[in-house]
Structure 1
Amino acid sequence: MQLQVAHGPAQQCAILRPAAAGLYGAVVLALALCQPARGADTVQRLVIGTPAGLPGYELVDDNQLKISDPYKKAFTDCIASRLNAGFVWQSLPTKRVLQMLEAGEIDMAYPMGFTEERAASLLPSSPAWQNPDVLVSLHAVDMRDLHLRLAARLGSPQHADYLAEGYARVTGVYAYEELAGLLERAQVDVVIVPRSVYAEQKALWPPKAMVTAGKPRASGFYLNKDDPKKLQKPLNAAIARCKDASSSR
């Protein structure tokens, strides 16, 4: 499938070439129908922080974000079109992204897993999609055992949540790629990652790794708590519109 994206603040919807066909064809065709929610004379520049090193997302030239999943790429472009916005991306450690958003130095953070801790100081959007946690281990484990040795990425919702639950040891790493090695060397009992990260890095996990469902978790955007640019309402409307378009697939 060949996917074209029109590159203008008011033209961010994905367009499927007529000869193309594939799994995401209906999604992209539907998203191509979306129109800017604001007039062309009100184009806005929005600075968005994204977690550095997140599998499937890569900052490229001109502060643009390369998204490997065609559906998520089309969805993100649809959001930009509905907001009539030019997105300028900054790729930074998760903790820094959240700090800058809270300080008003950036406009939004995306994609971000939702947590109660983050919601206390930031404003979440409507959920963009569900991205539950998965537990990766080499043997069956009982998660009620607080002596289990866990590992997750520093700054991630998984790391924060399981630390708060009283586990004696929750190892934090800077890069998702480090987690598979910890598990393979039996330095931890369980690795906890978002389902999307597990799928993106499937080749890295030990061959005998067991995968079980973890906590449900929604993902989407975060805004500054005060919402100085009044983005929450149009952003949530854009999310609803772009999700409705994708449901036709």
Structure 2
Amino acid sequence: MTLELLLLALAAFFAGFVDAVAGGGGLVQLPALLAMYPDTPVASLFGTNKGASVWGTAAAAARYARRVRLPWHCLAGALPAALLGAWWGARTVSLVPTPWLRPAILIALVAVGVYTVQRRDLGLRQAPRWTGRREALAGAGVGAALGFYDGIFGPGTGAFLVFVLVRGFGYDFLHAAAGAKLINVATNVAALTFFVGAGQILWPVSLVMAGANVAGALLGSRAALRGGAPFVRVVFLSVVAALVLKMAVDCWLA
């Protein structure tokens, strides 16, 4: 294994751990790819990133599904909607000017972080607001919106999903993280089918990173299950802070 592949594997392992707990793995994995392959088309690096992260996300989702009672009414609406939203977002990515998205996402992330810090009991207790059809319809709306966002832009999707499931649906952070992983699987698969069809994946790199990402995701989901909602909340706030810093730098340099 070359040094660059080893470094990418380490980045993928850490990304898998963080992403399994609270989202935000793309903060580590995609910049690592961009740094190692500066002359490679960005679309190919996006595809390689998705090709690696989808396996870690699926591994974390499978572990959560065995240990946590998942919100299936919400997921019944969210999963197909997220799949379609992400696929459509990936198709239209070249049509949307991303520079104006960065400041808007930065403001939203700051608001999410401040709100979560101020509400110290937020997400520490499982108290679903809806059941049945209403929960499924709300899940479909969230899945479509964040699936489209993930396909067209991406940064912070996992964190936004966790926050919406906590604040909007009344889940605690552990159940929100578990539900978010399954929705993330749908968005990753949808985007991945587009990149595979376009031939925009570096397969040898993606497969090495996928193995490391799965290992990190299994360790991260195990830590989340042991630490519960308080642990996930701390990691969530750390991810949001890192996202705010990254987006602020991107806005400054743009």
TM, length-normalised to structure 2: 0.28
Q: Which structure has the larger Rg? A: 1
TM, length-normalised to structure 1: 0.29
**Larger % of helix: which?**
2
